[in-house]
A = this chain, B = another copy of it.
């Protein structure tokens, strides 16, 4: 393909994307395909000869689009938002046009320096403590990771290595493997599965402490666990707290956790993958309490900043603790900028060596929307969720199970779990809106998250009408058959469809 043909294909693709996103409400949010649908339609080998781009583009319409779950649809209410914006799409394309691999400054100075710029912009926009800025003297700074999972893993691994070094000095009589065998980490039972996975990958158990009744992890619970473990000879390493849990968007109590962590020399990481976006709002200032005392935190730009996945911001109070843990460079790679976080070697701040030029899409999106546009976007999510919350409250057949938090409303049909389960089953069958359910304390509930690229009040009303109509329908049908038959038959059908659709529960909510 030459440049001339690329101009044609590229521009046709721009129109394709614009048409797709402008008309996204025309599609059911969930696709109607069965597992394996594509495998039957595709050739078994790649073509031997080049194919025409027009043919490929029409195949995207024919084969790809029917198998898309429309995350940018305003009828997407599952997991948490993953939003793109037009400028972000252009930024992604421009970055692939340059196709640099920015693992060090010389590999493309713009790639490293623009990341420093936008991470400081974002830190200021979110009103984070000054020690997280590159421009502040000291070892702190921000970096773009691929995902929240990676950011959490980086924190867990760095904390582990720091703890091993510290303990080897403190207890020289112990071998390294003795020390490693005693390490222990903490999180809440409401935290995302990626945190448990980080423990598996790090070969360091992460205890999932039971959150309080209100689903919040507080210092007292952490303190009790640490004291018990220390008494048993274990070495506490890190606590991963959450601001905006996956189930209900609960906020762990960072201040009381920080006090415990400081006392026991435990790394405190905050996973604010979702709620971090609200740090920017004065009315949400409470959310930022205690952040001046944490060692690291992460926030996903695709959740609230309209920058498409992958783009997970992470800030470190002392980046040298990560660099020091991960650096495998030889001595002659040391250079005069080392330790200066204004020109960081970001490859040492992350798991992989290679890095894409992700800062470009961030920069283009921030400038195109402006701080006011980003704040308005977060506020819109909050307002739309409040609209939905009011609709739930006004219908006596439903109940809220947790306070609305940012753009998330957790609710259920009153009565036993089966009603809520059956309701979700019907909604999934109809594919007009997409929610997932979660469970706490034996009660199943539905999570209604405001998602999509550009949701409107009418979309919220559409979703509500769909939900309440289907409950009405369900109740009507229930009245028409004996209770016992209904339960058995519908449970069997439900189970079949739920497995078929591989419904994802709260543990795998997307990062």
Question: Which secondary structure dominates chain A's binding surface?
Answer: helix
Binds B, one of A79-87, A386-394, A455-463, A479-487: A79-87
Do B39 and A373 touch (CB < 8 A)?
no
Cβ-defined contact, A48 with B146, below 8 A: no
Q: B99, A368: Cβ atoms under 8 Å?
A: no
Within 8 A of B (CB), among A347-374: 347, 351-354, 356, 360, 364, 366-373
Residues on B with beta carbons closer than 8 Å to the beta carbon of A68? 98, 100, 108-111
A69 to B197, CA, bound (A): 37
A68 to B182, CA, bound (A): 47
Q: How far is the CB of A279 from chain B (nearest CB, A)?
A: 14
Inter-chain contact A326/B51, CB cutoff 8 Å: no
Q: Which of A97, A310, A353 has the most CB of B within 10 A?
A: A97
Q: Contact partner of A100 among B9, B36, B69, B360, CB < 8 A?
A: B69
Knowing that A37-B109, A46-B367, A149-B353 touch, tell me 16 more A-B residue pairs with CB under 8 angstroms: A9-B87, A13-B93, A21-B97, A33-B109, A36-B343, A46-B122, A47-B371, A50-B372, A66-B110, A89-B96, A101-B510, A103-B504, A147-B353, A177-B181, A309-B354, A330-B507
Report A271 CB to chain B, min CB distance, Å: 12
- Asked if A408 is at the interface of the complex by the 8 Å CB criterion, the answer is no
16 inter-chain pairs at a CB distance below 8 angstroms, sorted by A residue, are A7-B18, A36-B113, A45-B121, A53-B368, A56-B368, A64-B110, A64-B360, A69-B107, A82-B99, A88-B96, A153-B351, A200-B326, A203-B203, A309-B354, A309-B356, A329-B507
A114 within 8 A of B: yes
Is A414 in contact with chain B by the CB < 8 A criterion? no
Q: A96-B84, A146-B146, A309-B354 are in contact. Are A11 and B11 (CB under 8 A)?
A: yes
For the complex formed, measure the closest distance between the CB of A355 and the CB atoms of chain B, giving whole angstroms: 9
CA distance A39 to B176 in the complex (A): 42
Q: Determine, out of A237-245, A248-256, A286-294, A494-502, the stretch whose residues face the partner at the interface.
A: A494-502
Interface presence of A71 (CB below 8 A):
yes
Residue A335 at the chain B interface, CB threshold 8 Å: yes
Query: A376-420: which have CB < 8 Å to B?
Result: none
Judge if A42 is at the interface, Cβ distance under 8 Å: yes
| Chain B residues within 8 Å of A96, by CB | 84, 88-89, 92-93, 308
A511 contacts the other chain (CB 8 A) = yes
Given contacts A46-B370, A121-B46, contact A100 B71 (CB under 8 A): yes
**Is there a chain B Cβ closer than 8 Å to A196's Cβ?**
yes
A22-48 interface (Cβ within 8 A of B): 22, 30-31, 33, 35-39, 42, 44-48
Q: What does the 1/0 interface line of A135-146 toward B look like (CB < 8 Å)? A: 100000000001
Chain B residues, Cβ within 8 Å of A35: 105, 109, 337, 343
- Inter-chain CA distance A53–B14, complex, in Å, is 15
Contact between chains at B110 and A508 (CB < 8 Å)? no
B22 pairs with A3, CB closer than 8 A: yes
Q: Give A326 to B400 CA distance when docked, in angstroms.
A: 34
Contact of A106 with B69 in the complex, beta carbons under 8 Å: yes
Residue among B9, B45, B84, B302 making CB contact with A90, cutoff 8 Å: B9
**In the complex, which residue of chain B has the Cβ closest to the Cβ of A120?**
B44
Q: In whole angstroms, what is the CA distance A307 to B106 when docked?
A: 23
The verdict on A284 contacting chain B, using a C-beta distance below 8 Å, is no
Determine how close the nearest CB of chain B comes to the CB of A351; give it in whole angstroms.
7
Does A94 sit at the interface, judged by CB under 8 A? Answer: yes
Residues A52-74 near B (CB distance < 8 A): 53, 56, 60, 63-69, 71-72
Cβ-based interface call for A1 (8 A): yes
How far is B66's CA from A180's CA once the two chains are assembled, in angstroms? Answer: 47
CB of A5 within 8 A of chain B? yes
A510–B342 CB distance below 8 A: no
